Amino acid sequence: MAQHSNLPCNGDGVCMVCQTKPPEAEILCCNTCVSPWHATCLSIPLETLAGAVEWDCPDCSSASADHEIPLATTAESSSSNLLIASIRAIESDQSLTDQEKAKRRQNFMSGGGLGSSPLEENVSNNETTINGDDNSFVNLLDGRINCSICMQLPERPITTPCGHNFCLKCFQKWVGLGKRSCANCRSEIPPNMVTNPRINSVLAVTIRMAKVSTKAPGVGEKRLYHFVHNQNRPEKAYTTERAKKAGKANACSGKIFVTVPPDYFGPILAENDPDRNQGVLVGETWEDRMECRQWGAHLPHIAGIAGQADYGSQSVALSGGYVDDEDHGEWFLYTGSGGRDLSGNKRINKTQSSDQKFVKFNEALRISCKKGYPVRVVRSHKEKRSFYAPETGVRYDGVYRIEKCWRKIGVHGFKVCRYLFVRCDNVPAPWTSDEHGDRPRSLPAIEELKKATDVTERKESPSWDYDEEKSCWMWKKPPPESRQRVNDGGVYEKTNTKRRTQAMTVRERLLKEFNCLICKKVMSFPLTTPCAHNFCKACLEGAFTGQAFIKERTCNGRRNLRAQKTIMKCPSCSIDISDFLQNPQVNRELMGVIESLQHESKKESENNDPSEEETNDGGGAEKKLKLVSEDESSVTILAS
DNA sequence: ATCGCCGAGACT
DNA sequence: AGTCTCGGCGAT
């Protein structure tokens, strides 16, 4: 921990430790990230550096497997070298436990091929080989929204109440030095932000989108990122005013953090986890089904099966709802859905009252069985009869394959659909001490199969299977293509949205991300709260007009009680932001970007054919519509 | 432990 | 638009 007092020189060449501009002779240049360091301020004895031809800075040498640090990696490093290097780095990292090493290795082994290594991803993110017109977006962001410490586009951006942006890593290093003032303007950093900085996800998604749009199309495989357009949703699930008061009853789902479409099969990889860049790890536990949903492991918040009858099932939950279930960890017997009387206001019912059939979700599971798709499995603490269920919450246990399905008479006397799930994940199960993931195993003897009817077994070779050569589970056939509609920039729009947006330009999409959570329009004078929610200055202040920061209290109109601070809850997450509201500072960098985007949009719409229609309700598009109608009216005038 | 609200979300 | 769903809460 003490080693974290190491900081490089900033963009102006000023050492961030001693705050002076060191002479040439005292500057060390990192071999890996080529960032300059002030040698005399390093906590490493200078003698050990003397004569060193190749020197790696503390960031690159001690944390070479740590993908969080934005490194300006040298362009000549080939991806395969990086891959080997990163695997070696994981293996040799003394600070990691075996379990952590396994988790890191998951990124290389999760069947998506080796190209999805986060390290490689990071490199490509930092490539600035920009050509073509579209790259002006990244340039636009690049020039403006930079981390005030490393002067790069922030990785995992956070925004201080004084309106300055940082990489999470840089910020943590900064406060780790005991600094309690903004590295940019010296304003005080609130204590809760020091201990618990929140990612400004609007910035994160925006930067990501800009980067994705920059990637040259047609070169190699086009990688699609599915951004669910849900930035207006809360970090934490809730819905109605009542739900906020009474707890999470009827909670709506909160924001979806991962970039996989709802019909995505298999493990959720680091590349689909823009906030953390680690993917959904085996053993990851969430508080409840709502939170589990937010990480994409299992989307339905009540139903146990996710899937489509004509397509397949992506995930199941073991929650103890069916007494017929039988859990043996690496394999289990699952019961289909339906056949229970859900009349009245019950959503679930313990006892069967009719036969189950292979329709709907049950059919979806049968398709996954026939095709040999990997099915994600989550276990809930509500499954009391299972030895393998977590103590609390909902846990992701990896992918399983459905080897067989059939029908039998359930314990309540009605027919139920049954499925044999067998684990086939490259990462060991949370309950094992195995170092390696699953190996193909012979099927268990199932007593009830003797009396089973409608038995279905897989005829074709499975889509997800074990590769002896690579010794890992992987897609042997291409995974089923997502049927979700994705527009040209990879933004996944919900299929049931009433109005489908026309092809939006990247600029317009970016503008839409900058919507105020109150007025839903593009922010003017944007503020970022310490809880990382973004509003127009006027909107946020307007929400608390007439409220004094200090409440005078009286008792029965006679005796004065001690004055009390007014609680002012963030309109998005209900955290008290009264301190922030005393002196909220506009995020000037963000405002600059928004204004430039709006300016560009305006220019573009003036140049474009006005007959093109837009249905987007962002501020930029609004202006455009206005311009369009003006043009049309002028045309009418000319015609008449 | 059980029961009754609440009115989400996806499939059909 | 109707139907179905291995939730979550507070009250009992």
HEC secondary structure over A432-475: CCCCCCCCCCCCCCCHHHHHCEEEEECCCCCCEEEECCCCEEEE
| Amino acid whose CA is nearest the C1' of C3 | A342
Which structure tokens are listed for A640?
Answer: 């008449």
Residue A367: pLDDT band with limits 50, 70, 90: very high
Average the pLDDT over each of A83-92, A105-114, A405-414, A505-514 and give the range with the smallest value. A105-114
Alpha-carbon span A331 to A397, nearest angstrom: 12
What is the pLDDT, as a whole number, of residue A608? 58
Report the nucleotide nearest the CA of residue A321, measured to C1': C6
Percent of chain A with pLDDT over 90: 28
Tokens 């989550």 sit at which residue?
Answer: A378
Measured in whole angstroms, the distance separating CA A203 from the mean position of its chain's CA atoms is 13
Report the nucleotide nearest the CA of residue A314, measured to C1': B10
Q: What pairs with residue A22 in β-bridges?
A: none
Which structure tokens are listed for A149?
Answer: 């410490």
| Amino acid whose CA is nearest the C1' of B8 | A252
Mean per-residue pLDDT, A512-516: 73
Q: Indicate yes or no: strand B within 7 A of the C-beta of A205.
A: no
CB–CB of A336/A362 below 8 Å?
A: yes
Alpha-carbon span A495 to A367, nearest angstrom: 23
Average pLDDT taken over every residue of chain A = 72
Q: A25: part of which helix (H) or strand (E)?
A: none
Nearest to A352 by CA among A338, A334, A336: A338
Count Cα neighbours of A460 within 13 Å in the Cβ-side half-sphere.
12
Q: Would you call A411 helix, strand, or coil by DSSP?
A: coil
Using one digit for the tens of pLDDT, what is the confidence trace for A433-463?
777 899 999 999 999 999 999 999 999 999 9
Whether residue A327 is predicted with pLDDT greater than 90 in this model: the reply is: yes
Which structure tokens are listed for A405?
Answer: 């399905």
Residue A87, φ and ψ in degrees, nearest 5:
-65, -45
| DSSP per position, A267-293 | PPPGGG-TTTSS---TT-EESSHHHHH
Which structure tokens are listed for A151?
Answer: 């002067």
Q: What pairs with residue A286 in β-bridges?
A: A394
Q: Indicate yes or no: strand B within 7 A of the C-beta of A565.
A: no
Which structure tokens are listed for A448?
Answer: 């009830």
Whether residue A403 is predicted with pLDDT greater than 80 in this model: the reply is: yes
Residue A317: exposure state from Cβ atoms within 10 A (0-12, 13-18, ≥19): buried
Whether residue A39 is predicted with pLDDT greater than 70 in this model: the reply is: yes
Q: Indicate yes or no: strand B within 7 A of the C-beta of A303.
A: yes
Mean per-residue pLDDT, A335-354: 83
Nearest to A282 by CA among A401, A171, A437: A437
Alpha-carbon span A263 to A246, nearest angstrom: 33
Nearest to A223 by CA among A113, A119, A105, A66: A113
Chain B nucleotides close to protein (CB under 7 A) are 4-12
Rounded to whole angstroms, the distance from the CA of residue A385 to the C1' of nucleotide C1 is: 39
Q: Indicate yes or no: strand C within 7 A of the C-beta of A385.
A: no
Whether residue A631 is predicted with pLDDT greater than 60 in this model: the reply is: no
Handedness of CA A481, A487, A488, A491 (dihedral sign): negative
Rounded to whole angstroms, the distance from the CA of residue A246 to the C1' of nucleotide C10 is: 8
What is the pLDDT, as a whole number, of residue A339? 87
